[in-house]
Amino acid sequence: MSDVFPPMQQHLTEQLTTALNPTHLEVINESANHSGPATESHFKLVVVSHYFVDLKLIDRHRFINQLFKEELSHIHALAMHTYTPDEWLMKNGAPASPQCSSKTKH
């Protein structure tokens, strides 16, 4: 496997791929958009999977939180956008992340 992504981003991608067999997956490292020295502290997940078809949104997020239980002790923020394939077609994309409030202060 190539080292195209930083270790945590690659790890999250591999775990989500294995657990959910997504039809669409984005693991975006948004750490640079936030203040502080951590380079792998803020992530945005966009996951489209048939696994979510019979799950409520809260249960989708609980599944991912459980999947990354250990990793979340090192990650400051994890934005989750979870969709079924039909929801993804209707949404046509995930919402943009908000600006970090501490990043915009002078």
- pLDDT tens per residue, range 6-24: 699 999 999 999 999 999 9
φ/ψ of 54, rounded to 5, equals -100, 15
Q: What is the DSSP letter of 29?
A: E
Instruction: Give the count of domains, the chain.
Output: 1
Relative to beta strand 42-48, strand 24-29 is antiparallel
- Structural domain range at position 80: 10-92
Residue 46 lies in a domain: yes
Residue 3 lies in a domain: no
Residue 2 lies in a domain: no
Q: What is the pLDDT of residue 74?
A: 86
Residue 98 lies in a domain: no
Q: CA nearest 19: which of 64, 77, 81?
A: 64
Residue 99 lies in a domain: no
Prediction pTM value: 0.81
User: Nearest 5°: CA angle at 8, between 41 and 40?
Assistant: 20
CA–CA distance, 99 with 61 (Å, rounded to integer): 22
Residue 101 lies in a domain: no
By the 8 A CB rule, do 11 and 20 touch? no
Residue 104 lies in a domain: no
By the 8 A CB rule, do 80 and 60 touch? yes
Residue 86 lies in a domain: yes
pLDDT digits (tens, 9 = 90+) for 37-81: 557 888 999 999 999 999 999 999 999 999 999 999 988 889 999
CATH code, 79? 3.30.300.90
CA–CA distance, 81 with 47 (Å, rounded to integer): 6
